Structure 1
Amino acid sequence: MAPFADRPRRWWSRRARPAPDTVRPAPAVEPTDDELHERVAALLARELGVAEPAEDVPTPVTPARIAAWMTQNQFSYFVDNDGDLGGLWRGRLFYFFLFGEQAEILQVRGQWHREVAIERLEEILDLCNEWNADRIWPKAYVRVRDNGRVHVVSEVATDLEHGVTDAQLSQMLFCGLSTGSMFFDALDERYPDPAGVAP
Protein backbone atom coordinates (compact mmCIF):
# COMPACT_ATOMS: atom_id res chain seq x y z
CA MET A 1 0.00 0.00 0.00
CA ALA A 2 2.91 2.33 0.68
CA PRO A 3 3.74 2.92 -3.00
CA PHE A 4 0.15 4.24 -3.63
CA ALA A 5 -0.28 6.20 -0.40
CA ASP A 6 0.92 9.53 -1.77
CA ARG A 7 -0.60 9.16 -5.23
CA PRO A 8 -3.93 10.85 -4.58
CA ARG A 9 -2.21 13.67 -2.82
CA ARG A 10 -0.05 14.46 -5.84
CA TRP A 11 -3.00 14.24 -8.20
CA TRP A 12 -5.01 16.75 -6.16
CA SER A 13 -2.04 19.02 -5.73
CA ARG A 14 -1.50 19.11 -9.48
CA ARG A 15 -5.17 19.95 -10.15
CA ALA A 16 -5.29 22.61 -7.49
CA ARG A 17 -2.45 24.72 -8.90
CA PRO A 18 -3.07 26.31 -12.32
CA ALA A 19 -0.25 26.25 -14.77
CA PRO A 20 1.59 29.57 -14.92
CA ASP A 21 0.87 30.09 -18.64
CA THR A 22 -2.90 29.39 -18.41
CA VAL A 23 -5.01 32.29 -19.84
CA ARG A 24 -8.46 32.77 -18.38
CA PRO A 25 -11.21 33.88 -20.79
CA ALA A 26 -12.26 37.52 -20.53
CA PRO A 27 -15.76 38.11 -19.19
CA ALA A 28 -18.41 38.41 -21.93
CA VAL A 29 -19.15 41.99 -23.02
CA GLU A 30 -22.84 42.87 -23.15
CA PRO A 31 -23.89 44.19 -26.58
CA THR A 32 -25.17 47.76 -26.79
CA ASP A 33 -28.76 48.60 -27.66
CA ASP A 34 -27.71 49.60 -31.18
CA GLU A 35 -25.90 46.28 -31.68
CA LEU A 36 -28.93 44.35 -30.43
CA HIS A 37 -31.17 46.38 -32.75
CA GLU A 38 -28.92 45.57 -35.72
CA ARG A 39 -28.91 41.87 -34.84
CA VAL A 40 -32.71 41.78 -34.54
CA ALA A 41 -33.11 43.72 -37.81
CA ALA A 42 -30.76 41.31 -39.58
CA LEU A 43 -32.63 38.32 -38.16
CA LEU A 44 -36.01 39.73 -39.24
CA ALA A 45 -34.69 40.58 -42.71
CA ARG A 46 -33.35 37.04 -43.08
CA GLU A 47 -36.56 35.40 -41.85
CA LEU A 48 -39.19 37.75 -43.29
CA GLY A 49 -37.45 39.39 -46.21
CA VAL A 50 -36.58 43.03 -46.67
CA ALA A 51 -39.50 45.46 -46.30
CA GLU A 52 -40.33 47.51 -49.35
CA PRO A 53 -40.31 51.28 -48.76
CA ALA A 54 -43.79 52.78 -48.47
CA GLU A 55 -44.93 54.57 -51.61
CA ASP A 56 -47.60 56.59 -49.82
CA VAL A 57 -46.29 58.29 -46.68
CA PRO A 58 -48.41 60.28 -44.19
CA THR A 59 -48.47 64.01 -44.89
CA PRO A 60 -50.42 66.86 -43.26
CA VAL A 61 -54.05 67.36 -44.24
CA THR A 62 -54.81 70.54 -46.14
CA PRO A 63 -57.96 71.97 -47.71
CA ALA A 64 -56.30 71.41 -51.09
CA ARG A 65 -55.99 67.66 -50.39
CA ILE A 66 -59.67 67.50 -49.40
CA ALA A 67 -60.67 69.42 -52.53
CA ALA A 68 -58.54 67.08 -54.65
CA TRP A 69 -60.31 64.10 -53.05
CA MET A 70 -63.69 65.68 -53.83
CA THR A 71 -62.67 66.23 -57.47
CA GLN A 72 -61.23 62.72 -57.78
CA ASN A 73 -64.51 61.24 -56.56
CA GLN A 74 -66.58 63.58 -58.74
CA PHE A 75 -68.26 65.35 -55.81
CA SER A 76 -69.30 68.98 -56.15
CA TYR A 77 -67.86 71.32 -53.55
CA PHE A 78 -67.61 75.02 -52.78
CA VAL A 79 -65.62 77.42 -50.64
CA ASP A 80 -67.79 79.82 -48.64
CA ASN A 81 -67.07 83.42 -47.65
CA ASP A 82 -65.16 82.27 -44.55
CA GLY A 83 -62.90 80.06 -46.65
CA ASP A 84 -64.52 76.84 -45.40
CA LEU A 85 -64.82 73.89 -47.75
CA GLY A 86 -68.28 72.35 -48.11
CA GLY A 87 -70.37 70.22 -50.39
CA LEU A 88 -73.63 68.37 -50.81
CA TRP A 89 -73.83 64.65 -50.19
CA ARG A 90 -77.14 62.93 -50.92
CA GLY A 91 -78.92 66.27 -50.57
CA ARG A 92 -77.34 67.09 -47.21
CA LEU A 93 -74.85 69.86 -46.49
CA PHE A 94 -71.43 68.79 -45.18
CA TYR A 95 -68.45 70.92 -44.20
CA PHE A 96 -64.81 69.89 -43.88
CA PHE A 97 -62.96 71.77 -41.15
CA LEU A 98 -59.36 71.68 -39.94
CA PHE A 99 -58.85 72.69 -36.31
CA GLY A 100 -55.94 72.72 -33.89
CA GLU A 101 -52.69 74.66 -33.57
CA GLN A 102 -51.34 73.07 -36.75
CA ALA A 103 -54.70 72.39 -38.44
CA GLU A 104 -54.22 68.71 -37.58
CA ILE A 105 -57.79 67.85 -36.50
CA LEU A 106 -60.06 66.93 -39.40
CA GLN A 107 -63.76 67.36 -38.78
CA VAL A 108 -66.51 66.28 -41.18
CA ARG A 109 -69.68 68.03 -40.06
CA GLY A 110 -73.06 67.43 -41.65
CA GLN A 111 -76.41 69.15 -41.25
CA TRP A 112 -79.80 67.55 -41.74
CA HIS A 113 -81.57 69.22 -44.65
CA ARG A 114 -84.69 69.91 -42.58
CA GLU A 115 -85.31 72.23 -39.65
CA VAL A 116 -87.09 71.04 -36.52
CA ALA A 117 -89.68 72.96 -34.51
CA ILE A 118 -88.52 74.00 -31.04
CA GLU A 119 -91.45 72.03 -29.58
CA ARG A 120 -89.74 68.83 -30.77
CA LEU A 121 -86.38 69.70 -29.17
CA GLU A 122 -86.66 67.22 -26.29
CA GLU A 123 -87.54 64.25 -28.49
CA ILE A 124 -84.76 65.15 -30.98
CA LEU A 125 -82.28 65.35 -28.09
CA ASP A 126 -83.43 61.90 -26.92
CA LEU A 127 -82.92 60.55 -30.43
CA CYS A 128 -79.39 62.01 -30.58
CA ASN A 129 -78.55 60.55 -27.16
CA GLU A 130 -79.79 57.11 -28.22
CA TRP A 131 -77.67 57.29 -31.37
CA ASN A 132 -74.56 58.39 -29.45
CA ALA A 133 -75.02 55.61 -26.89
CA ASP A 134 -75.23 52.88 -29.55
CA ARG A 135 -72.69 54.06 -32.14
CA ILE A 136 -69.20 55.52 -32.32
CA TRP A 137 -69.84 57.65 -35.43
CA PRO A 138 -71.08 60.20 -36.04
CA LYS A 139 -71.50 62.29 -32.93
CA ALA A 140 -75.06 63.61 -33.14
CA TYR A 141 -76.26 66.85 -31.58
CA VAL A 142 -78.53 69.85 -32.17
CA ARG A 143 -78.13 73.59 -32.48
CA VAL A 144 -80.90 76.01 -31.66
CA ARG A 145 -80.75 79.07 -33.90
CA ASP A 146 -81.66 82.61 -32.84
CA ASN A 147 -85.01 82.22 -34.60
CA GLY A 148 -85.88 79.22 -32.42
CA ARG A 149 -85.47 76.66 -35.19
CA VAL A 150 -83.50 73.50 -34.42
CA HIS A 151 -80.77 72.15 -36.70
CA VAL A 152 -79.59 68.56 -36.28
CA VAL A 153 -75.85 68.01 -36.80
CA SER A 154 -73.54 65.03 -37.33
CA GLU A 155 -69.82 65.20 -36.68
CA VAL A 156 -66.80 62.94 -37.14
CA ALA A 157 -63.48 64.35 -35.89
CA THR A 158 -60.03 62.74 -36.14
CA ASP A 159 -56.69 63.94 -34.79
CA LEU A 160 -54.14 63.61 -37.61
CA GLU A 161 -51.14 65.10 -35.83
CA HIS A 162 -48.74 62.72 -37.60
CA GLY A 163 -50.27 63.18 -41.03
CA VAL A 164 -52.29 60.80 -43.14
CA THR A 165 -51.87 58.90 -46.40
CA ASP A 166 -54.23 59.48 -49.32
CA ALA A 167 -55.92 56.13 -48.66
CA GLN A 168 -56.40 56.94 -44.97
CA LEU A 169 -57.74 60.40 -45.77
CA SER A 170 -60.20 58.90 -48.24
CA GLN A 171 -61.40 56.41 -45.63
CA MET A 172 -61.91 59.15 -43.03
CA LEU A 173 -63.80 61.43 -45.39
CA PHE A 174 -66.05 58.60 -46.55
CA CYS A 175 -66.59 57.64 -42.90
CA GLY A 176 -67.74 61.15 -42.02
CA LEU A 177 -70.05 61.38 -45.03
CA SER A 178 -71.52 57.88 -44.92
CA THR A 179 -72.13 57.66 -41.15
CA GLY A 180 -73.61 61.17 -41.15
CA SER A 181 -75.93 60.12 -43.97
CA MET A 182 -76.95 57.00 -42.02
CA PHE A 183 -77.93 59.19 -39.07
CA PHE A 184 -79.89 61.56 -41.29
CA ASP A 185 -81.61 58.58 -42.97
CA ALA A 186 -82.72 57.46 -39.51
CA LEU A 187 -84.16 60.93 -38.91
CA ASP A 188 -86.00 60.82 -42.25
CA GLU A 189 -87.47 57.47 -41.29
CA ARG A 190 -88.49 58.70 -37.85
CA TYR A 191 -90.01 61.92 -39.18
CA PRO A 192 -91.71 61.32 -42.52
CA ASP A 193 -94.07 64.18 -41.65
CA PRO A 194 -92.86 67.79 -41.72
CA ALA A 195 -90.67 67.97 -38.62
CA GLY A 196 -90.77 71.74 -38.83
CA VAL A 197 -94.38 71.72 -37.68
CA ALA A 198 -95.22 71.47 -33.97
CA PRO A 199 -96.78 68.08 -33.09
Structure 2
Amino acid sequence: MAGLPEPHRPWWRRAGRRATSSSPAPQRPEPSDDELQDSVARLLARELGAVEVAGDNPTPLSPARIAAWMAQNDFSYFIDNDGDLGGLWRGRLFYFFLFGEQSEILQVRGQWHREIAIERLEEVLDVCNEWNADRIWPKAYVRVRDNGRVHVVSEVATDLEHGATDEQLSQLLFCGLSTGSMFFDALDELYPDPAGTAP
Protein backbone atom coordinates (compact mmCIF):
# COMPACT_ATOMS: atom_id res chain seq x y z
CA MET A 1 0.00 0.00 0.00
CA ALA A 2 2.85 2.37 0.74
CA GLY A 3 3.86 2.46 -2.93
CA LEU A 4 0.41 3.06 -4.40
CA PRO A 5 -0.34 6.43 -5.97
CA GLU A 6 -2.57 8.73 -3.93
CA PRO A 7 -5.89 8.03 -5.75
CA HIS A 8 -5.55 4.27 -5.08
CA ARG A 9 -4.89 4.57 -1.35
CA PRO A 10 -7.80 3.75 0.95
CA TRP A 11 -9.57 6.82 2.34
CA TRP A 12 -8.15 6.24 5.84
CA ARG A 13 -4.60 6.39 4.50
CA ARG A 14 -4.92 9.48 2.35
CA ALA A 15 -2.92 12.33 3.76
CA GLY A 16 -4.27 15.83 3.90
CA ARG A 17 -7.85 14.86 3.09
CA ARG A 18 -9.87 16.55 5.83
CA ALA A 19 -13.43 17.67 5.64
CA THR A 20 -13.72 21.41 5.82
CA SER A 21 -16.70 23.46 6.75
CA SER A 22 -17.36 27.11 6.36
CA SER A 23 -19.58 27.18 9.47
CA PRO A 24 -18.04 28.78 12.58
CA ALA A 25 -16.70 26.61 15.40
CA PRO A 26 -19.37 25.89 18.05
CA GLN A 27 -19.16 27.91 21.26
CA ARG A 28 -18.21 25.92 24.35
CA PRO A 29 -21.02 25.98 26.95
CA GLU A 30 -20.45 27.38 30.44
CA PRO A 31 -19.06 24.69 32.78
CA SER A 32 -21.44 23.14 35.29
CA ASP A 33 -20.85 23.14 39.05
CA ASP A 34 -19.57 19.55 38.85
CA GLU A 35 -17.12 20.49 36.10
CA LEU A 36 -15.88 23.44 38.15
CA GLN A 37 -15.40 21.18 41.19
CA ASP A 38 -13.47 18.71 39.05
CA SER A 39 -11.30 21.56 37.78
CA VAL A 40 -10.55 22.68 41.35
CA ALA A 41 -9.80 19.08 42.35
CA ARG A 42 -7.31 18.77 39.46
CA LEU A 43 -5.68 22.04 40.51
CA LEU A 44 -5.35 20.81 44.11
CA ALA A 45 -3.96 17.49 42.89
CA ARG A 46 -1.35 19.35 40.87
CA GLU A 47 -0.40 21.58 43.81
CA LEU A 48 -0.59 19.03 46.63
CA GLY A 49 -0.05 15.71 44.87
CA ALA A 50 -2.52 13.15 43.61
CA VAL A 51 -5.16 11.74 45.93
CA GLU A 52 -4.89 8.00 46.27
CA VAL A 53 -8.13 6.28 47.20
CA ALA A 54 -7.35 4.22 50.26
CA GLY A 55 -10.53 2.21 50.74
CA ASP A 56 -9.84 -0.59 53.22
CA ASN A 57 -6.11 -0.72 52.53
CA PRO A 58 -3.67 1.67 54.21
CA THR A 59 -2.04 4.04 51.75
CA PRO A 60 0.63 6.72 52.25
CA LEU A 61 -0.34 10.10 53.61
CA SER A 62 -0.36 13.20 51.44
CA PRO A 63 -1.53 16.80 51.78
CA ALA A 64 -4.04 16.06 49.04
CA ARG A 65 -5.71 13.36 51.16
CA ILE A 66 -6.01 15.78 54.07
CA ALA A 67 -7.42 18.49 51.79
CA ALA A 68 -9.91 15.97 50.35
CA TRP A 69 -11.01 15.06 53.89
CA MET A 70 -11.49 18.76 54.70
CA ALA A 71 -13.58 19.25 51.57
CA GLN A 72 -15.69 16.13 52.23
CA ASN A 73 -16.51 17.41 55.70
CA ASP A 74 -17.26 20.97 54.49
CA PHE A 75 -14.37 22.49 56.45
CA SER A 76 -12.72 25.64 55.15
CA TYR A 77 -8.99 25.35 54.61
CA PHE A 78 -6.12 27.20 52.98
CA ILE A 79 -2.55 26.70 51.82
CA ASP A 80 -0.18 29.34 53.16
CA ASN A 81 2.89 30.86 51.48
CA ASP A 82 5.07 28.02 52.80
CA GLY A 83 2.79 25.41 51.24
CA ASP A 84 1.39 24.31 54.62
CA LEU A 85 -2.23 23.23 54.90
CA GLY A 86 -4.30 24.93 57.60
CA GLY A 87 -7.83 25.75 58.59
CA LEU A 88 -10.11 27.16 61.27
CA TRP A 89 -11.94 24.86 63.65
CA ARG A 90 -14.35 26.50 66.12
CA GLY A 91 -12.49 29.79 65.73
CA ARG A 92 -9.05 28.32 66.39
CA LEU A 93 -6.23 27.99 63.89
CA PHE A 94 -5.00 24.46 63.12
CA TYR A 95 -2.25 23.25 60.80
CA PHE A 96 -1.78 19.79 59.33
CA PHE A 97 1.85 18.77 58.87
CA LEU A 98 3.54 15.69 57.44
CA PHE A 99 7.03 15.02 58.79
CA GLY A 100 9.60 12.26 58.34
CA GLU A 101 11.65 10.96 55.44
CA GLN A 102 8.54 9.62 53.72
CA SER A 103 6.01 12.11 55.17
CA GLU A 104 4.77 9.33 57.42
CA ILE A 105 4.25 11.35 60.62
CA LEU A 106 0.94 13.20 60.76
CA GLN A 107 0.81 16.18 63.10
CA VAL A 108 -2.32 18.21 63.86
CA ARG A 109 -1.18 21.40 65.57
CA GLY A 110 -3.55 24.00 66.96
CA GLN A 111 -2.97 27.46 68.37
CA TRP A 112 -5.16 29.18 70.94
CA HIS A 113 -6.71 32.30 69.43
CA ARG A 114 -5.36 34.62 72.14
CA GLU A 115 -1.90 35.57 73.43
CA ILE A 116 -0.79 35.51 77.07
CA ALA A 117 1.48 38.02 78.78
CA ILE A 118 4.98 36.80 79.62
CA GLU A 119 4.27 37.48 83.30
CA ARG A 120 1.79 34.58 83.25
CA LEU A 121 4.22 32.12 81.65
CA GLU A 122 4.78 30.04 84.79
CA GLU A 123 1.10 29.59 85.56
CA VAL A 124 0.30 28.69 81.94
CA LEU A 125 3.12 26.13 81.98
CA ASP A 126 1.51 24.63 85.08
CA VAL A 127 -1.82 24.41 83.23
CA CYS A 128 -0.11 22.62 80.30
CA ASN A 129 1.74 20.23 82.61
CA GLU A 130 -1.46 19.33 84.48
CA TRP A 131 -3.24 18.69 81.19
CA ASN A 132 -0.40 16.50 79.90
CA ALA A 133 -0.30 14.52 83.16
CA ASP A 134 -4.04 13.75 83.05
CA ARG A 135 -4.66 13.20 79.34
CA ILE A 136 -3.08 11.45 76.38
CA TRP A 137 -4.21 14.00 73.77
CA PRO A 138 -3.33 16.64 72.86
CA LYS A 139 0.18 17.45 73.96
CA ALA A 140 -0.03 20.99 75.34
CA TYR A 141 2.85 23.45 75.40
CA VAL A 142 3.72 27.12 74.97
CA ARG A 143 5.93 29.12 72.64
CA VAL A 144 7.39 32.47 73.58
CA ARG A 145 7.62 34.79 70.59
CA ASP A 146 10.33 37.38 69.99
CA ASN A 147 7.94 40.08 71.15
CA GLY A 148 7.59 38.39 74.56
CA ARG A 149 4.03 37.23 73.99
CA VAL A 150 3.13 33.63 74.85
CA HIS A 151 1.25 31.37 72.43
CA VAL A 152 -0.39 28.19 73.69
CA VAL A 153 -0.22 25.20 71.34
CA SER A 154 -1.93 21.80 71.12
CA GLU A 155 -0.42 18.92 69.17
CA VAL A 156 -1.41 15.39 68.21
CA ALA A 157 1.25 13.46 66.28
CA THR A 158 0.97 9.92 64.93
CA ASP A 159 3.57 7.81 63.13
CA LEU A 160 1.86 6.17 60.16
CA GLU A 161 4.80 4.39 58.58
CA HIS A 162 2.49 1.88 56.89
CA GLY A 163 -0.06 4.46 55.79
CA ALA A 164 -3.68 4.79 56.86
CA THR A 165 -7.09 3.97 55.49
CA ASP A 166 -9.51 6.83 54.88
CA GLU A 167 -11.39 5.89 58.06
CA GLN A 168 -8.21 5.83 60.15
CA LEU A 169 -7.08 9.17 58.73
CA SER A 170 -10.49 10.67 59.48
CA GLN A 171 -10.36 9.46 63.10
CA LEU A 172 -6.87 10.90 63.61
CA LEU A 173 -7.77 14.28 62.12
CA PHE A 174 -10.95 14.50 64.19
CA CYS A 175 -8.94 13.48 67.27
CA GLY A 176 -6.41 16.28 66.74
CA LEU A 177 -9.11 18.88 66.15
CA SER A 178 -11.55 17.87 68.88
CA THR A 179 -9.03 17.27 71.67
CA GLY A 180 -7.20 20.49 70.79
CA SER A 181 -10.51 22.33 71.00
CA MET A 182 -11.23 20.75 74.41
CA PHE A 183 -7.90 22.06 75.70
CA PHE A 184 -8.56 25.52 74.32
CA ASP A 185 -12.05 25.48 75.86
CA ALA A 186 -10.40 24.81 79.23
CA LEU A 187 -8.11 27.80 78.64
CA ASP A 188 -11.13 29.96 77.80
CA GLU A 189 -12.64 29.07 81.18
CA LEU A 190 -9.41 29.83 83.03
CA TYR A 191 -8.78 33.07 81.14
CA PRO A 192 -12.12 34.53 80.06
CA ASP A 193 -11.92 37.24 77.45
CA PRO A 194 -12.48 40.57 79.26
CA ALA A 195 -14.13 42.05 76.18
CA GLY A 196 -16.57 39.13 76.09
CA THR A 197 -18.18 40.04 79.42
CA ALA A 198 -20.20 43.08 80.43
CA PRO A 199 -18.26 45.80 82.29
- Length-normalised TM-score, structure 1: 0.70
Aligned to 2:80: 80
Deviations 1:72-123 (A, max 9, x none): 0000000000000000000000000000000000000000000000000000
Distance 1:190 1:80, change over 3 A: same
* Contact 2:93/2:110 (<8 A) preserved: yes
- Length-normalised TM-score, structure 2: 0.70
Secondary structure (helix, strand or coil) at the match of 1:87 reads strand
Q: Letter of the 1:59 partner, please give it.
A: T
* Contact 2:55/2:165 (<8 A) preserved: no
The structural deviation recorded for 1:58 is 0.2
Secondary structure (helix, strand or coil) at the match of 2:95 reads strand
Larger Rg: 1
Aligned to 2:152: 152
Aligned to 2:118: 118
How many residues are paired up?
Answer: 142
The structural deviation recorded for 1:151 is 0.1
The within-5 A match list for 1:102-113 is 102-113=102-113
Aligned to 1:136: 136
Secondary structure (helix, strand or coil) at the match of 1:113 reads coil
Distance 1:193 1:71, change over 3 A: closer
The structural deviation recorded for 1:194 is 4.5
Structure 1 residues without counterparts, runs of 5 or longer: 1-53
Distance 2:130 2:73 in 1: 32
Deviations 1:110-168 (A, max 9, x none): 00000000000000000000000000000000000000000000000000000000000
Aligned to 1:99: 99
Q: Letter of the 1:163 partner, please give it.
A: G
Structure 2 residues without counterparts, runs of 5 or longer: 1-53
Distance 1:159 1:77 in 2: 23
Secondary structure (helix, strand or coil) at the match of 1:108 reads strand
Distance 1:177 1:55 in 2: 23
Secondary structure (helix, strand or coil) at the match of 1:171 reads helix
Secondary structure (helix, strand or coil) at the match of 1:181 reads helix
The structural deviation recorded for 1:56 is 1.4
Deviations 1:42-84 (A, max 9, x none): xxxxxxxxxxxx9510000100000000000000000000000
* Contact 2:55/2:166 (<8 A) preserved: no
